[in-house]
Amino acid sequence: MIDYYYFSEMPYPETPELDQYPSIRLTYSNKYFNPEKGAQLYKRYLDEYAYAETVGFDGLMVNEHHNTPTCLHLAANISAAALIPRTKTSKILLLGNVIALWENPVRLAEEVAMLDLISEGRIISGFVRGIGIEQFSMNINPGLNRERFQESHDLIIKTWTEPGPFRWEGKHFQFRYVNPWVFPLQKPHPPIWIPGIGSKESIMWAARHNYPYVSFLAPMDMAEQWFDIYRETAQQSGYTATPHNLGYMTGLFVADTEADAQKSFEHYLWRTQTSLKGPIHYYMPVGMTTRGTASILSEGSGTKKHKPVFQMSIDDLQEAGGFVVGTPKQVAQRVKEIIKRLGIGHMIFEAQYGGLPHDLTMRSIELMGKEVLPVLRKELA
């Protein structure tokens, strides 16, 4: 059984004078932010999320980035808390909390447990390493990211699963009393997913822990390589990976006609070009990523060479799998091809991006829920 998730980074697309800055992220001045506009955008985006559940999406994904107008999800847990009372049945996928940045992982464990209880067990707790921008914005040494991530993970799992009080004396975190009052409703704890854009170490780490790995906006040939690494590592770890272990995120727009579908093009190019373009060390600083790592920000090394995602045209993106656009019939066919080729069990659609207007977003969500998802569920059952 395949599940389908709706996602938007909830961007703030009005970004004048970008040419004066090296990137839209990290150093683009917050003097351009308008609080009244921000309040309107939050209401709009939360309405779109709630509508996605109404038309039949299985889950809603939220994420987190800092120092950038490309993402108004500033805290995944707050976004989740805002969605829980607006929804009834959908999974709330935190993909996720940047746990290497938290100075108090016990507090994070408390927050996610609280969300799981309030939602009556609808939380999926994704843990992410983040990108260089997050490390710089929080003044954390990028070279310590992986070891902070792993220690934070171990402490959170113990906090969720072992009665306190107990003491924790690690390299990065020390607590005399770990004894939060609440545990998650789901046992032994909420499901944990790991997303990525190419780190081989992260893929293998996820596989060794039997955590689903989700590829973000990657060309399919690149995602295939990553999933092969996952499957091989799983086999070495004593189990066989199934589609439930693998997920894929792609951009999505569904329209009544092919001409209407083209209205989304400039907005998706803002997502892949303006949103992602910038100095490579903003994303992959020295010490955080292994030299030679292939990612969506670098040239492909598979059977077919491809440009970095931020250099791709709409045609390039559609061919690679990073963008699915068209009429309901066209979209259903393309999504089926992606699922069958990659052997995945989780499909995440970034279905709002850039300055895509509210009316077009709502119509796309409606067509996806009412005309595309029923076809996929019937033909891929």
Cis peptide before 198 (omega within 30 of 0): no
What's the domain count of the chain? 1
Q: Provide the 8-state DSSP code for 122.
A: -
CB atoms < 10 A from the CB of 242, how many?
Answer: 12
Element (H, E) at 146: helix 145-161
Q: Provide the 8-state DSSP code for 13.
A: -
Core vs surface per residue 326-364: b (16+ CB within 10 A) or e: bbbebbbebbeebbeebebbbbbbbbbbbebeeebbbbb
Domain of residue 244, CATH code? 3.20.20.30
Strand 166-169 with 174-178, pairing: antiparallel
pLDDT in tens, the chain (381 residues): 999 999 999 999 999 999 999 999 999 999 999 999 999 999 999 999 999 999 999 999 999 999 999 999 999 999 999 999 999 999 999 999 999 999 999 999 999 999 999 999 999 999 999 888 889 988 999 999 999 999 999 999 999 999 999 999 999 999 999 999 999 999 999 999 999 988 899 999 999 999 999 999 899 999 999 999 999 999 999 999 999 999 999 999 999 999 999 999 999 999 999 998 888 888 888 778 765 556 666 665 544 567 888 889 999 999 999 999 999 999 999 999 999 999 999 999 999 999 999 999 999 999 999 999 999 999 997
* CA 176/CA 116 separation, integer angstroms: 26
Q: For residue 245, how far is the Cα from the chain centroid? A: 15
Q: Which domain holds residue 370?
A: 3-379
CB atoms < 10 A from the CB of 162, how many?
Answer: 11
